[in-house]
Chains A and B, each alone.
Chain A
Amino acid sequence: MKELRVIKTARGINNINKAADMGFIPLVKKLKPLKKLFRTIGIFRNKKTNKIEEAEDYVVYEQYGNITSYEDENEWELVVPFHSYYPYKFDSHYAAYLIPHDIEKGEKVILEDLIEDYYGGSFWSHHIRVESLQAIWTGEDFSILYDPKTDGVCNLIG
Chain B
Amino acid sequence: MIFKFATKELFSDKGVFIKKLHCPYHIKWQELNDIKHATHKACSICNKTIYNSINMSDQQIVDLVTLDPKACLKVSLNQNNVKTVDIYERA
CB distance B29 to A110 under 8 Å?
A: no
Which residues from A are CB-within-8-Å of B24? Answer: 6
**Given A1-B44, A132-B26, A150-B30, are A155 and B87 also a contact pair (CB < 8 Å)?**
no
Q: Describe B's contact surface by its main secondary structure.
A: loop
Question: What separation, in Å, do the CA atoms of A67 and B49 have in the docked complex?
Answer: 38
**Given A64-B83, A154-B77, A157-B29, are A87 and B8 also a contact pair (CB < 8 Å)?**
no
CB distance A89 to B27 under 8 Å?
A: no
CB of A117 within 8 Å of the partner chain: no
Which residues from B are CB-within-8-Å of A88? Answer: 88, 90
Pick the most buried of A126, A153, A154, A157: most chain B CB atoms within 10 A of its CB: A157
Pick the most buried of A121, A123, A134, A155: most chain B CB atoms within 10 A of its CB: A155
Q: Which residues 1-36 of A have a CB within 8 angstroms of B?
A: 1, 3-4, 6
Which residues from A are CB-within-8-Å of B64? Answer: none
Question: What separation, in Å, do the CA atoms of A3 and B47 have in the docked complex?
Answer: 13
CB distance A87 to B88 under 8 Å?
A: yes
CB of A158 within 8 Å of the partner chain: yes
Which residues from A are CB-within-8-Å of B27? Answer: 1, 157
Which residues from B are CB-within-8-Å of A151? Answer: 28
Which residues from B are CB-within-8-Å of A158? Answer: 8, 19-23, 72-73
Would you give the shortest CB distance from B47 to chain A, in whole angstroms? 11
CB distance B88 to A123 under 8 Å?
A: no
CB distance B73 to A157 under 8 Å?
A: yes
CB distance A156 to B74 under 8 Å?
A: yes
CB distance B76 to A150 under 8 Å?
A: no
CB distance B8 to A156 under 8 Å?
A: yes
Q: Which residues of A contact B (CB under 8 A)?
A: 1, 3-4, 6, 63-64, 87-90, 110, 112, 121, 123, 126, 128, 132, 134, 150-151, 153-158
9 closest A-B pairs (Cβ-Cβ)? A158-B21, A154-B77, A158-B22, A123-B77, A158-B23, A150-B30, A87-B88, A155-B29, A110-B26
Q: Which residues of B contact A (CB under 8 A)?
A: 3, 5, 8, 19-31, 43-45, 50, 72-78, 80, 83-84, 87-90
A–B Cβ pairs within 8 angstroms, 8 of them: A3-B25, A64-B80, A110-B25, A121-B77, A153-B76, A155-B75, A157-B27, A157-B72
